[in-house]
Amino acid sequence: DTGVSQNPRHKITKRGQNVTFRCDPISEHNRLYWYRQTLGQGPEFLTYFQNEAQLEKSRLLSDRFSAERPKGSFSTLEIQRTEQGDSAMYLCASSPRVGGVGNEQFFGPGTRLTVL
Amino acid sequence: RKEVEQDPGPFNVPEGATVAFNCTYSNSASQSFFWYRQDCRKEPKLLMSVYSSGNEDGRFTAQLNRASQYISLLIRDSKLSDSATYLCVVRSGGSYIPTFGRGTSLIVHP
């Protein structure tokens, strides 16, 4: 399967714990996005990478959230000191460098986080 | 006012019906527009881009109205398999941030 992959698919954690999610984009895609989606809402943009550069991070929900893409390939999203309000689906998407930023994004299956 | 607004529905239509959704956006500098489809418990997938001149793909037609700041999606001859949530996406010029609407739920029944 050459699509976007995310691991783990499900994560259950206790409040106060740290969690890290991984996203492997489509190999030739240099753009990578992280989103959060809650029930009944559309995906909410969190951050954006072009290669290894994090070009937009102003929408990360708090300083407990951070993301990296150290070699311009896979990315990780970390949430420190999780809270129950962090429970959501975390989606990763990638897109090719074609025709500017406004092009198709390919989404991974998401990581569903449950904070107890 | 939200940046991108959609009627959440659900729109409940019989097979064969024609149904249309609108999506309004608040930023007049918006440049890129898309419709994505999301099935229950699945990831969003691109349905179609929306160009200034409109865009048609089979039974699906998307239109952009810059003066009134909305985009529309028309589905003709609805199929049961069209049942899904349709997400509107807008991006402003010079911004990396795509903004999704909350989605419109469509249920096509026999």
Tell me the Cα Rg of chain A: 13
Res. A97: pLDDT tops 80: no
pLDDT the model gives residue A101: 47
Does B34 sit within 8 Å of A44, measured CB to CB?
no
Q: Determine the Cα–Cα distance for residues B108 and B110; give it in Å rounded to an integer.
A: 7
- Residue B23, SS3 per DSSP: strand
Mean pLDDT of A28-39: 94
pLDDT the model gives residue B8: 94
pLDDT the model gives residue B13: 97
Q: How far is B76 from chain A (nearest CA, A)?
A: 24
Burial class (CB in 10 A: 0-12, 13-18, 19+), A28: exposed
Task: Please name the member of B45, B91, B103 whose beta carbon is closest to the beta carbon of A102.
Answer: B91
More confident site: A60 or A76? A76
Whether B109 and B14 have beta carbons less than 8 Å apart is answered as yes
The rounded average pLDDT for each run of 10 residues, N- to C-terminus, in chain B (110 residues) is 90 97 92 94 94 92 95 98 97 84 97
Helix (H) or strand (E) holding B55, with range, is: strand B55-57
Whether B103 and B87 have beta carbons less than 8 Å apart is answered as yes
Q: Quick one: pLDDT band at residue A1, thresholds 50, 70, 90?
A: low
pLDDT the model gives residue A58: 85
Q: What percent of chain A has pLDDT over 70?
A: 93
Average pLDDT, chain A: 92
Whats the size of chain A, residue-wise? 116
- Token pair of B12 as six digits: 């409940």
B40 Cβ neighbours under 8 A, 6+ residues apart: B84, B85
SS3 content of chain A, % helix, strand, coil (to 5): 5, 45, 50
Q: Does A6 touch chain B (CB under 8 A)?
A: no
Q: Determine the Cα–Cα distance for residues B7 and A30; give it in Å rounded to an integer.
A: 34
pLDDT the model gives residue B51: 85
Q: Quick one: pLDDT band at residue A31, thresholds 50, 70, 90?
A: very high
